[in-house]
Amino acid sequence: MSGDFVRRLPRGQSGFRNHRGEFTWFNLDPWLLLILLSIVSFGLVVLHSASDGNWVVVEAQLVRLGLGFGLMVLIAQIPPYFLLRTAPFLYGLGLILLLLIYPFGTEVNGSRRWLRVPGVLNFQPSELMKLFLPMVLAWYFHERHLPPGFRPVVVSCLLLLLPAGLIIVQPDLGTGLMIATSGFLVLILAGLPWRYMLRGGALLLILAPALWFLIKDYQRGRILTMFDPERDPLGAGWNIIQSKIAIGSGGFSGKGLFNGTQSHLDFLPESSTDFIIAVLAEELGFLGVVSLLVLYGLFILRGLMMSLNAQDTFGRLLCGSITFTFSVYVFVNIGMVSGILPVVGVPLPLVSYGGTALLTLFAGFGLMMSIHSHRRITLL
Amino acid sequence: MREALALKDHHSESQIYVERAATGAGLVIVLFALLIFRVGYLQTVQYSDAVARSEKNRVQVVARPPVRGLILDRQGILLAENRPSRNLVVIPEQILDADDTLSDLAAVLEMSEEDTARFRRLSGRTTRRFESAPVLFDLSDEQVARFEVNRYRFPGLSVQAKLVRNYPQGALMAHAVGSVRRINDQDALLLDTSAYAATDHIGKLGVERFYEDALLGQVGYDRVEVNARGRMMRVLDGVKPVNGQNLTLYLDAGLQAAADRALAGRRGAVVAIDPKTGGILALLSRPSYDPNLFVQGISHQNYNALRASIDAPLFNRAIQGQYQPGSTLKPFIGLIALGNSTITVSDSIEDPGWYQLPGTERLYRDWNWTKTNDGGHGRVNLEKAIYRSCNVYFYDLAVRLGIDRLSNDLKQFGFGQASVLDLPDAHEGLLPSRVWKRASRNLPWYPGDTVNLGIGHGDILVTPLQMAAAAAALANRGRWVTPRMAQNQPFDQVERFAPSGAGQLPDRVWAPIIGAMEKVVHRGNQIYGENGTAWSYIGRDIDYRMAGKSGTAQVVEIEQGEVYEASSIEERQRKHAWFIAFAPIEDPLIALAVLLENGGGGSEYAAPVAREIIDYYLMTALGKTAPDRAMVSLQ
């Protein structure tokens, strides 16, 4: 650690100032903010239609967005080194909360995902893990030589699998896999050697048949349904059939906002949450979908730029993994609604109606902005 | 050196990151391209398919039933109408648990085994089309109230009002009007299902069946926007149903009731025809049944009772009962013989009371034959042979005519064919011939068969409707009118068919025969053996001129699979009583045939029935109290 000459520089105060080469405001990145606001506004319009013109839903979403913005601004003020130092403790806290679920968790629909502190708050520890895991991995690799050798890879895999496993057995396979993915993205960005990845991939292929028998019936059903929704058109296949009809019937320019029959007549299930992209596709057509994807693309682009500008490994990895995880969410959600991925409960980021996931997203953006806005002028 | 190795190489770490981030960015581009490609595929290649399916989701075509046409008698009295009925209908997709629902329902409404089975069958199928199907029919006010109070317990069930057929005249008109039945699975296979999309019933008998297409009307539909739970949001557009045409019959409800009174509970049939039009004024078959029982589906118990009854109430004697005509055939044989000049009116024979074919032993007896072989009618010409109903004369005449001429020429009066326009269930009867006997029994025609045919016995069979039609042809002096039920005929495509040879007899034949038939009724106050056969029963105080002919038919067999029952065999072996008549002679307004099953002698039993009916028709139905004036004004 003593070999790090950057570390030997005095931290952050006299003689060095925050990077002010471009406009910032409360440590917020204006470009990311602009794109974020565009996506959110677009999303609110679609949500208004998807909720059948119900302003209550839109207002509730606005309140959440407000909270999210507040959280983002708050987190953006935290200096990255503080984040770096607290990362392992946060990760430990997250693990403890995940474990606390077993004695104290509230059971909903046969799975324990919620911790309830009566009258105070009510949350899913897995949401916290969505950020704490990338943070702790970024912290871990920050201290190590990159690309990582065998030992760090094993350790980081353990760090990754521990929370993911706890979440999967709740059971919440979707979230568990998404968290594992976000952690895995850190590993890849940190330079996980390709040969490890190839071996891991091969191992997974070999294990796939075993996994097939390990997963639950309804999960198998979802995979089968993806390949052939018509095998149970009124049951398991209903959602995906109806969402494909909704998307397809939108055509190039859509049926017009508020004119989607699939969503307004309730043929499309979950139309304001996980399946909201189908509403967009039905009412605004191909143009609408491509517009949203372009906005997402710009957001990802800006996120990557921010990560490239980050000045240390921790910042790069955290920023990059949040950005790529965001892309994965977008892909998985739209892929699932359009029938090329099995149905998993992944909301469309920033557009789907929903509580805690939205806050987590904004917290992540807060981290990115903190890293970006607390850069120091380099000596070079 | 060790120190140097331990140094983090920031440049190379940053290089690794750039590399990996670039790879990741490339992957994101590929994945996003995949999404765009996928969505684009759905929205272009699958566009029309998806639009069709979303429309199919959204739009439900709800068929709207046409109101079935009413059936009225000539006075406008309702014979078949539509009454509202409330059914319990189920939308199978909305049933949560069939067993729970069923047990709850059984606690609220009485459900028979059939109802339960029906409910199970219906609730088993789910299509997400949210179409309702009836489970219980014709709920009473109390049942509706009990169900509605408990409504919240029965998602997927509701009470639906529909119009169903009602026959206000009940059993009286059952055989005349026919009835509708609930469409069953076999029907459904044969029907144009779109035409019956909203209709549960179909005409199964009589006029209801024949005029089904006109009575049914045309189904309408609404295109309705529905949501995923099957709730109707709004009506998009639609086509109104075209209600069925009302049908006015020639039937006279008052006359029918009069005929029923005249039958006085006896088994038998009456068919009365307006000779001018062929319109059927009365068509009665007794015993009868309440057609309303069949409309919503008759219970097995009731149905079996009707089927098993020895009186065969379901059997339409008027158009399907096939009996030997007995002596009522004689005027027609007389017409043929006069027409082809086999005899003249003045030809006469000596009747010893029996007839014998040349070279044979067997005696064919007259009805007044006595064991001492005297009796007989003495000198008999055609006129007397009819008003005294002399058998021997017609034995002789039939033999002189021969079977070929008889079987050919009797056709013109409609025998042996269902010459009726709109009663699809009418039977043809049987007009025997050499060809028929060879084909059906592989036997030659014996001369004795001809002898029997001369007095309407043997193989010949006729229905009361055929006899009435033949009487109408007589009344019209040969002009054939096809019997028909409906006045406003929506069915011009049905050709008015007449039996071959009808109306070709020369004019000279009518007066003698009709005169002889007049004497059957009116020739009285003569010495013994000279009065008309029916005079003493109906002719003494009659105020108008009626032509008639009685008949008494042997009972050869028990019809329609009736159970042989010892207690009633005596009665059921008695002869069938016939009477055909028309009146007034000068300008006939009504022609009829009366049949009393096992009724006894035609003159004694059937003739008074005929008179009572004609009396009613001429005096009451035509609105005249005094028959003379009626006749004058009608002329």
User: pLDDT band at residue A314, thresholds of 50, 70 and 90?
Assistant: very high
Residue A300 at interface with chain B, using a CB cutoff of 8 Å: yes
User: pLDDT band at residue A319, thresholds of 50, 70 and 90?
Assistant: very high
Q: What are phi and psi of B80, to 5 degrees?
A: -145, 125
Q: For residue B634, what pLDDT is reported?
A: 37
Closest-CA distance, A253 to chain B, in angstroms, reads 9
The mean per-residue pLDDT over the stretch A241-252 comes to: 93
Closest-CA distance, B224 to chain A, in angstroms, reads 12
- Are the beta carbons of A295 and A35 closer than 8 angstroms? yes
H or E stretch covering B73: none
The closest alpha carbon to B269, from B576, B612, B619, B621, belongs to B576
Contacts of A73 (CB under 8 A, 6+ apart): A26, A27, A28, A366
Q: What are phi and psi of B165, to 5 degrees?
A: -70, 140
Using DSSP, state whether A265 is helix, strand or coil: coil
DSSP letter assigned to residue B586: S
Determine the straight-line distance between the first and last CA of chain B, rounded to whole angstroms: 144
Look at strands B220-226 and B59-64 and give their pairing.
antiparallel
CATH architecture, domain defined by B315-634: 3-Layer(aba) Sandwich (3.40)
Closest-CA distance, B232 to chain A, in angstroms, reads 10
How many Å apart are CA B578 and CA B604, to the nearest integer? 10
Beta strands per DSSP E along chain A = 106-108, 111-117, 121-123
Token representation of residue A289: 């979908």
Contacts of A45 (CB under 8 A, 6+ apart): A257
Q: For residue B556, what pLDDT is reported?
A: 53
User: pLDDT band at residue A290, thresholds of 50, 70 and 90?
Assistant: very high
Is A107 a residue whose pLDDT tops 70?
Answer: yes
User: The pTM is what?
Assistant: 0.72
Q: Which residue in the list B123, B179, B288, B327 is annotated as catalytic?
A: B327
Q: For residue A163, what pLDDT is reported?
A: 95
Cross-strand bridge partners of residue B592: B272, B581
- Beta-carbon separation of A304 and B25 below 8 A: yes
H or E stretch covering A319: helix A313-337
Cis peptide before B584 (omega within 30 of 0): yes
- Are the beta carbons of B607 and B551 closer than 8 angstroms? no
The closest alpha carbon to B201, from B83, B297, B91, belongs to B297
Q: For residue A377, what pLDDT is reported?
A: 55
Cross-strand bridge partners of residue B202: B181
Greater confidence, A121 or B227? Answer: B227
DSSP letter assigned to residue A139: H
- Are the beta carbons of A76 and A26 closer than 8 angstroms? yes
Closest CB from B8, B43, B57 relative to A285: B43
Closest CB from A265, A293, A317 relative to B58: A265
Helical packing angle, B447-454 and B391-401, nearest 10°: 130
Domains in chain A: boundaries:
22-373
The closest alpha carbon to B383, from B196, B498, B513, belongs to B513
The mean per-residue pLDDT over the stretch A78-90 comes to: 93
Is B327 one of the annotated active-site residues of the chain? yes
Closest CB from B35, B39, B57 relative to A267: B57
Q: For residue B419, what pLDDT is reported?
A: 79
The closest alpha carbon to B490, from B79, B180, B215, belongs to B215
Q: For residue B95, what pLDDT is reported?
A: 78
Q: For residue B234, what pLDDT is reported?
A: 86
Residue A293 at interface with chain B, using a CB cutoff of 8 Å: yes
Give me the numbers of helices (H) and strands (E) for chain B, helices first please. Answer: 25, 19
B chain contacts of residue A4, beta-carbon cutoff 8 Å: 7-8
Helical packing angle, A173-189 and A125-142, nearest 10°: 20
Q: For residue B625, what pLDDT is reported?
A: 42
Token representation of residue A50: 């998807």
**pLDDT, chain A, mean:** 87
Q: Domain B61-248: which topology?
A: Penicillin-binding protein 2a (Domain 2) (3.90.1310)
Q: For residue B2, what pLDDT is reported?
A: 42
Q: What is the dihedral of CA B435, B438, B439, B440, to 10 degrees?
A: 120
User: pLDDT band at residue A13, thresholds of 50, 70 and 90?
Assistant: very low
Closest CB from A249, A265, A335 relative to B50: A249
Q: For residue A16, what pLDDT is reported?
A: 41
Q: What is the dihedral of CA B622, B627, B630, B635, to 10 degrees?
A: 120
Beta strands per DSSP E along B266-346 = 268-273, 280-286
- Beta-carbon separation of B35 and A293 below 8 A: yes
- Are the beta carbons of B288 and B528 closer than 8 angstroms? no
> Across the A/B interface, how many CB contacts are shorter than 8 Å?
151
- Are the beta carbons of B354 and B364 closer than 8 angstroms? yes
Closest CB from B10, B20, B44 relative to A189: B20
The closest alpha carbon to A138, from A178, A88, A94, belongs to A88
- Beta-carbon separation of A262 and B25 below 8 A: no
Q: What are phi and psi of B110, to 5 degrees?
A: -75, 130
User: pLDDT band at residue A343, thresholds of 50, 70 and 90?
Assistant: confident
- Beta-carbon separation of A304 and B21 below 8 A: yes
How many Å apart are CA B461 and CA B454, to the nearest integer? 13
Cis peptide before B66 (omega within 30 of 0): no
Q: Residue A265: closest CA among chain B residues belongs to which residue?
A: B227
How many Å apart are CA B165 and CA B65, to the nearest integer? 13
Token representation of residue B624: 């005249």
Q: Residue A287: closest CA among chain B residues belongs to which residue?
A: B40
Closest-CA distance, B87 to chain A, in angstroms, reads 28
A242-278: b or e for each residue (b if 16 or more CB lie within 10 Å)?
bbbbbbbbbbeebbeeeebbbbbbbbbbbbbbbbbbb
CA-derived radius of gyration, chain B: 37
Helical packing angle, A313-337 and A276-309, nearest 10°: 160
Cross-strand bridge partners of residue B272: B282, B592
B chain contacts of residue A267, beta-carbon cutoff 8 Å: 54, 57-58, 227-228
- Are the beta carbons of B284 and B256 closer than 8 angstroms? yes
CA-derived radius of gyration, chain A: 22
In SS3 terms, B528-567 reads as CCCCCCCHHHHHCCCCCCCEEEEEEECCCCCCCCCCCCHH
Using DSSP, state whether B597 is helix, strand or coil: coil
| Residues A283, A290, A176: CA angle, nearest 5 degrees | 95
> Within chain B, which residues score under 70 in pLDDT?
1-7, 125-129, 369-374, 488-497, 556-570, 621, 623-635
Q: Supply the ipTM of this predicted assembly.
A: 0.92
